[in-house]
Structure 1
Amino acid sequence: MAMVTVFRASISRCLPTSFPNLFSSSSNRNSIPKKHRLLCYAASSQTKTIRSEVSFCVGTHLIPHPKKVERGGEDAFFVSDYNGGVIAVADGVSGWAEQNVDPSLFPQELMANASCLVEDEEVKYDPQILIRKAHAATSAVGSATVIVAMLETNGTLKIANVGDCGLRAIRGDRIIFSTSPQEHYFDCPYQLSSEMVGQTYLDAVVSRVEVMEGDTIVMGSDGLFDNVFDHEIVSTVAGHGDVAAAAKALANLASIHSTNSEFESPYSLEARSKGFDVPLWKKVLGMKLTGGKLDDITVIVGQVVRSQHISLLAEDQTVEAHTEQENKLES
């Protein structure tokens, strides 16, 4: 079996409304696996005989929304060493809290189910099929955006994305591939849901990117991409040779920008482009809408290496921050 680590973390957005859903949840539910405390591991000798080209070395970091620190937030993600490596992020929708539903449960179970199904024969190492089967196996009430990326050992990176979680592929000092967010309207992304509204795996944007040794993949929830520009992502990754340090630096930068009311963030620029701005009297005074977006911030940095295993370099404190909620799910 491939080694898998599942984490959880947060977001604040609208609930899915009035969008047709072609999906019905399956009655066969997958149990949520025990979480692994192993932070760095090598693949078995049997796995080594299968791999011959490239795989991921992965670092992760998560910073919950300031008001959700005690609960750990509402994002979830997992990292697997299967084949060349699998990374995924699910971003729970906070609007469910208004209906007395814990928004973190749906993305947690979605990611846990995906981690269980990575090696499923029907998945065939296809991220879109993995999303379909994980969604069908999820019984929690709620909704989430999701992105899954699977690296083949020959260097083909396969990506499936529903909503506004994102991914950047970096080679040297430039971005060679970038996902685009899917939104119904500003701040209301496409999302998988437990209800008969929302999107399905059929709505996922599917992409294939050829990567090579030395390339860097940056994946995250919109808490990263709403607060950090692409050129900042490139320069931050370049300034940190270690993937764990790079993930932490990106998350910290996003956190700093999110609390800066004067920062012209990607989020505030998009808001203004969609017609959202300060009142007219403030415009007369030369003021405009600025500031970052407070949110949960999940960052995964994967470096493509010529290796026989995937190293998981997540920080122990990140795992500890989510132990209490994970124990609740396991019970």
Structure 2
Amino acid sequence: MSVKGHEAEGPKFSYGIAASFTAKDRRYNPDKNIFNFNPYNHIRARRKDKRTRPDSGQDAFFVSRVGESNDVAFGVADGVGGWMDSGVDPADFSHGFCDYMAHAAYTYQPAGKTPPYTARSLMQRGYDDICEDKTVRAGGSTACVAIAKGDGTLDVANLGDSGFVQLRLNAIHYHSEPQTHAFNTPYQLAIVPRKVRAQAAAFGGYQICDFPKDANVTEHSLRHGDVLVFASDGVWDNLSSQDILRIVSRMMVGARAWEHTADGIQVSNNLQHFTHFTDAEDGKNSSEDIPSLQSFLAVGITSEAKAASVNTKVDGPFAREVQKHYPFEYWRGGKVDDICVVVAIVVEEGK
């Protein structure tokens, strides 16, 4: 589903957004593990019933309109699995954190001197809300949060080893760099109980707890036909940015959303047709059986990441990093993990 940009002067942009996901201990089902963004959907403050969560394991995502502005906020969060050793379900933090960010964006109302959300301030709001939630006693996650605006600008706050790439006409225009304290130790938001802090100190250690202010903030100008891929480390540990480009290019060209011309690959004149599969004001699909191009991309990336994660013969990015840091440790193939992907296709209206 897509959302239209502001009724303002200058170019207006809309975004077709979809997500796909799979838990590491589940078989991937592309027919069920898919989400198409509908800006008209009501967003609740918190899904406390775990059965209503997406089947994405400890990974989580969100997509929401920003108030009535029709800008779009979205992102991914990867629950830190180490909290399981303390009897904590890491998914409680990551899913609750995303729920709170989605609701904060959805209910945003500019009033007085209240500034509009930035990606980092939205991350801060979600973190504050999850810290105040008494049902979540501990936990943590990485986060990559974005706000795509109707004027074609993208604001991103990335903390940890989730991340994103911006693809433009068969090329990587930008890719984020992971934030790590050490190998396989990403920056992470956390709720750390006093008892856990005391235990860590007693044994000469410490519990990692970073904050939204530590996130790497970047701003990007978007163009018609750009593809944004946000994903948890279950993707980046198994697929490189070049792998993502290969997958997306094959599918965009195959769908004729990007086309070969005498001047090289160009954006199709029918791109909006591929990303907007409803014209109804109430947000209902004109055909429930017709998926969007963004959903095809999200499924394609998730499928390949899942396959790579269980491939024992082809070394992925994580395996190559292990070999570099620990040359005497045997690690081959992929890295089994939860996987979460959010794809956004940029459409400039009138093109």
Range into which the TM-score falls when normalised by the shorter chain: 0.7 to 0.9
The answer to whether residue 303 in structure 2 is matched with residue 252 in structure 1 is yes
Unaligned runs of 5+ in 1: 1-39, 279-287, 309-331
Q: Secondary structure at 1:291's aligned position in 2?
A: coil
Structure 2 match to 1:98: 85
Q: Secondary structure at 1:236's aligned position in 2?
A: helix
* Residue of 217, 221, 238 corresponding to 1:227: 238
CA displacement, residues 184-205 of structure 1 (integer Å, 9 cap, x when unaligned): 1111110000127510111000
* TM-score, normalised by the number of residues in structure 2: 0.68
Select between 60-69 and 265-274 the one with higher mean Cα deviation: 60-69
Q: Secondary structure at 2:90's aligned position in 1?
A: coil
Once residues 212 and 148 of structure 1 are traced to their aligned partners in structure 2, the CA distance between those partners, rounded to angstroms, is 20
Native 8 Å contact 2:3 2:16 kept in 1: no
Cα 1:268–1:235 shift into 2, 3 Å: same
Pairwise CA distance, 1:297 = 0.5
Structure 2 match to 1:297: 339
Native 8 Å contact 1:243 1:301 kept in 2: yes
Structure 2 match to 1:205: 216
Pairwise CA distance, 1:307 = 4.4
Once residues 23 and 349 of structure 2 are traced to their aligned partners in structure 1, the CA distance between those partners, rounded to angstroms, is 32
What does 1:115-154 correspond to in 2, within 5 Å? Answer: 115-118=102-105, 119=108, 121=110, 122=114, 124-138=116-130, 139=133, 140=136, 141-154=138-151
CA displacement, residues 12-56 of structure 1 (integer Å, 9 cap, x when unaligned): xxxxxxxxxxxxxxxxxxxxxxxxxxxx4766xxx8646961121
Select between 245-254 and 71-80 the one with higher mean Cα deviation: 71-80
The answer to whether residue 199 in structure 2 is matched with residue 188 in structure 1 is no
Q: Secondary structure at 1:130's aligned position in 2?
A: helix
Structure 2 match to 1:270: 321
Once residues 274 and 172 of structure 1 are traced to their aligned partners in structure 2, the CA distance between those partners, rounded to angstroms, is 35
What does 1:1-331 correspond to in 2, within 5 Å? Answer: 40=1, 49=7, 53-66=12-25, 72-82=56-66, 83-118=70-105, 119=108, 121=110, 122=114, 124-138=116-130, 139=133, 140=136, 141-195=138-192, 197-241=208-252, 242-278=293-329, 289-307=331-349
Pairwise CA distance, 1:276 = 4.6
Cα 1:180–1:104 shift into 2, 3 Å: same
Bigger Rg over Cα: 2
Percentage of pairs with the same residue: 28
CA displacement, residues 131-188 of structure 1 (integer Å, 9 cap, x when unaligned): 1111011132210000101112111110001101110000011111111111111111
Q: Secondary structure at 1:231's aligned position in 2?
A: helix
Once residues 317 and 58 of structure 2 are traced to their aligned partners in structure 1, the CA distance between those partners, rounded to angstroms, is 22
Once residues 136 and 265 of structure 1 are traced to their aligned partners in structure 2, the CA distance between those partners, rounded to angstroms, is 36
**How many residues are paired up?**
257
**Structure with larger RCO (C-alpha < 8 A, sep 6+):** 1
CA displacement, residues 72-102 of structure 1 (integer Å, 9 cap, x when unaligned): 5111111123333221101101111111111
| 2:248 partner letter | V
